Amino acid sequence: MTQVLIVEDLSETRRWLGEIVTAAFPDCTLHEATSQSSGLAQSARRVYDLALIDLGLPDGSGLEVLRKLRLSQPDTICVVTTVMGDDASIVGALSAGAHGYLLKEQPRDLLVVQLKQVAAGIPALSPSVARRIMQHFQRTGPAAPEDNLTAREREVLGMIGRGLRNAEVAQALLLSENTIAGYIKDIYRKLGISSRAEASWHAARLGLGTPDQT
């Protein structure tokens, strides 16, 4: 890392971050910006290897600087350095292309190590941030494919899993074969499968393959 940009409005924090960066990369050249506008100006002035960006700036969000750098300098490693540890800030920064998210409350030595790691391609995430990311996706991630099946689709899956033909399933459920074919098509799509053998496997896994459960 030779050219490093620090976007931070507090002078004491800016100096502290500069010391951390210098400890991680002794031969680097530091450049500073104290606001969103000066950060945007700096990003247009030269190419950076690393940028540390605060989110809460006096004239706007550091996300705008982050987005500008990711667009104009895709090789620049952008790391958010902030006190904001809420889900919205973390997800917003990572969605905007941040390579890391470090909380300023961390010990200096840990920040030095994490900056060295990000230069080696390892995402720089504060431990508490990593935990929040995992919790966020545990809460909001997609459901398992089988959870999207309706009660009728599970019923049809159980029957074809037992080897019944479409006509037999239609007769048992008092439906037309075309309707059953439509159910099977939707089941295959939701489970990401394309054969009766795969359907049988899923039916067995879900406990739908015995007559008592269909």
- Let me know whether 125 and 154 are in one domain: no
Whether the Cβ atoms of residue 169 and residue 160 lie closer than 8 Å to each other: yes
Q: Are 77 and 53 in contact (CB under 8 A)?
A: no
Q: Are residues 125 and 176 in the same domain?
A: no
On whether both 30 and 134 belong to a single domain, the answer is: yes
Q: Which residue has the higher pLDDT, 95 or 36?
A: 36
Judged by DSSP in three states, 176 sits in: coil
Q: Which of 123, 140, 157 is the last residue of a domain?
A: 140
| Residue 119: half-sphere exposure toward Cβ, Cα within 13 Å | 19
| Residues 159 and 185 grouped into a single domain | yes
Scan for tokens 């074809």, then name that residue. Answer: 160
Q: How far apart are CA 207 and CA 61, in angstroms?
A: 52
Same structural domain for residues 129 and 29? yes
Instruction: From 140, 170, 201, give the residue that closes a domain.
Output: 140
Question: 45: domain range?
Answer: 3-140
CATH of the domain at 164: 1.10.10.10
User: Residue 106: is its pLDDT beyond 60?
Assistant: yes
**How high is the pLDDT of residue 139?**
59
Rounded to two decimals, the pTM is 0.64
pLDDT by residue (tens digit) across 129-143? 888 777 766 655 555
Neighbour-count burial of 193, counting CB atoms closer than 10 A to its CB (0-12 exposed, 13-18 middle, 19+ buried):
middle
pLDDT of 12 over the 90 cut: yes
Domain's final residue, options 117, 140, 163: 140
pLDDT for 89 = 86
Tokens of 190: 């939701």
Number of domains into which the chain is organized: 2
In the chain, % helix, strand, coil (3-state, to 5) comes to: 55, 15, 30
Confidence (pLDDT) at 193: 83
Note the pLDDT tens digit of each residue in 112-170. Answer: 999 998 888 888 888 888 887 777 666 555 555 566 889 999 999 999 888 889 999 99
CATH number of the domain bearing residue 124: 3.40.50.2300
Report pLDDT for 110: 92
Q: Are residues 70 and 114 in the same domain?
A: yes
9, 11, 13, 17: CA torsion to nearest 10: 100
